[in-house]
């Protein structure tokens, strides 16, 4: 009986692809999408496609169209979201400012958000507190400005808005990297939820979207591991139930540099021309993910019966040299 009750309470897995269309898909993005797909589909779950085009300066609809075509070509299909749902536009972050504004106002009403007038130069000044990896911890400079000071400063510059964090640990168990604990006060300080140009920040948007789109499982690159406590904090403040989080290693070149859109690394568009079919690319990624002993052509559904998450490496994964040479 206990078992049955437990089973009934288990929510179906809903994973997601959440690409940023600031360039074309590269091999690293596809690696992440493949694992998100395998995690969800191997447990009978679904995938949602959300286009993270929050930043109008960097993202284009053309890039989004292309990445959807590339994912489809690779066999990485999705069940709901952009390009398939009747309300497809609502899966583009650029079309969701009204939703973000609603929850932003809730945080404001709880006095958890304040305007920050610090310039980039002030934030990056040598004396600003930094973590060993170079990230800056916001010192709380604008947290306690008086109303008069805020009024005066807003005459001169449009503020960004920061969320007040607490001085206590936020712990979670990552599906791949196990127990994690972060004290936001010590590791980020109050963080930005709305930029000075009015664009809502990634941390806020992604949390609201994952919650409202019913996402139960987030699989993404380990560069976002340290964003997770910020998002868990927002889940709590807004009264949402968080999904499970599973971070995976990044693909890097022989020098340890991660593949990136900016550097035009191993774009799928190039690989499509070189290989002509998706199977060699999926086979290579499956090999890099520790799922098969040597690269051999495969379709994504061939991987479902053999998917073994424990075999995914924990360290970043070096992409063979001959492949990185195909870079632009």
Q: Which is nearer to ligand GLU, 18 or 40 (CB)?
A: 18
CB count in 10 Å sphere of residue 162:
24
State how far the Cα of 79 lies from the Cα of 36, in Å rounded to an integer.
13
Q: Which is nearer to ligand GLU, 67 or 300 (CB)?
A: 67
* 249 is an interface residue for ligand GLU by CB under 6 A: no
- Sheet with 46-49: strands ordered across: 14-17, 46-49, 80-81
Is the torsion defined by CA of 126, 130, 133, 134 positive or negative? negative
* 232 is an interface residue for ligand GLU by CB under 6 A: no
Q: Which residue has the tokens 């299909």?
A: 77
Q: Which two tokens stand for residue 264?
A: 């035009």
Spell out the alpha helix ranges (H) of the chain: 2-9, 27-41, 61-74, 97-109, 120-123, 147-156, 184-187, 202-212, 228-238, 268-275, 279-288, 300-303, 321-324
Segment near ligand GLU (CB under 6 A); pick from 14-22, 57-65, 76-84, 162-170: 14-22
Least distance in Å: CB of 250 to ligand GLU? 10
Binds ligand GLU (CB under 6 A): choice among 13, 14, 15, 20:
20
Q: State whether residue 307 is helix, strand or coil.
A: coil
Least distance in Å: CB of 235 to ligand GLU? 13
Segment near ligand GLU (CB under 6 A); pick from 1-9, 13-21, 154-162, 314-322: 13-21
Binds ligand GLU (CB under 6 A): choice among 220, 225, 229, 246:
220
Q: Which is nearer to ligand GLU, 20 or 291 (CB)?
A: 20
* 19 is an interface residue for ligand GLU by CB under 6 A: yes
Binds ligand GLU (CB under 6 A): choice among 14, 35, 48, 206:
206
Least distance in Å: CB of 236 to ligand GLU? 18
Contacts 24+ apart (CB under 8 A), 194-197: 194/104, 194/113, 194/160, 194/161, 195/160, 196/157, 196/158, 196/159, 196/160, 197/158
Angle between helix axes 97-109 and 228-238 (nearest 10 degrees) is: 70
State how far the Cα of 19 lies from the Cα of 14, in Å rounded to an integer.
16
Least distance in Å: CB of 66 to ligand GLU? 14
Segment near ligand GLU (CB under 6 A); pick from 17-25, 63-71, 109-117, 315-323: 17-25
* 224 is an interface residue for ligand GLU by CB under 6 A: yes
Binds ligand GLU (CB under 6 A): choice among 48, 52, 91, 142:
52
Binds ligand GLU (CB under 6 A): choice among 18, 165, 286, 288:
18
Residues that bind ligand GLU (CB under 6 A): 18-20, 52, 206, 220, 224
């Amino acid at each position: 009986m206990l078992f049955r009750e437990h089973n009934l309470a288990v929510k179906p897995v809903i994973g997601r692809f959440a690409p940023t269309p600031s360039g074309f898909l590269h091999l690293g993005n596809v690696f992440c999408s493949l694992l998100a797909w395998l995690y969800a589909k191997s447990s009978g779950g679904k995938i949602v496609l959300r286009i993270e085009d929050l930043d109008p300066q960097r993202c284009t609809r053309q890039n989004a169209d292309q990445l959807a075509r590339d994912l489809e070509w690779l066999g990485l299909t999705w069940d709901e979201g952009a390009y398939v749902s009747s309300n497809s536009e609502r899966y583009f972050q650029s079309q969701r400012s009204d939703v973000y504004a609603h929850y932003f106002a809730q945080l404001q009403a709880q006095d958890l958000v304040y305007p920050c007038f610090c310039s980039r130069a002030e934030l990056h000044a040598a004396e600003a507190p930094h973590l060993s990896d170079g990230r800056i911890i916001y010192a709380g400079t604008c947290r306690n400005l008086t109303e008069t000071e805020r009024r005066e400063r807003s005459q001169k510059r449009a503020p960004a808005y920061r969320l007040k964090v607490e001085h206590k640990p936020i712990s979670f168990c990552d599906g791949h990297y196990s127990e994690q604990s972060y004290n936001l006060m010590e590791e980020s300080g109050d963080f930005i939820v709305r930029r000075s140009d009015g664009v809502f920040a990634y941390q806020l948007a992604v949390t609201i979207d994952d919650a409202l789109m019913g996402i139960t499982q987030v699989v993404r690159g380990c560069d976002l591991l340290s964003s997770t406590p910020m998002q868990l904090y927002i889940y709590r403040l807004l009264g949402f139930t968080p999904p499970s989080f599973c971070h995976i290693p990044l693909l890097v070149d022989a020098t340890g540099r991660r593949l990136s859109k900016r550097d035009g690394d191993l774009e799928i568009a190039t690989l499509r021309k070189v290989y002509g079919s998706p199977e060699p690319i999926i086979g290579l990624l499956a090999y890099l993910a520790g799922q098969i002993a040597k690269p051999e052509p495969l379709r994504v559904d061939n991987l479902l019966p053999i998917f073994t998450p424990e075999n995914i490496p924990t360290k970043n994964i070096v992409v063979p040299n001959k492949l990185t040479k195909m870079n632009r």
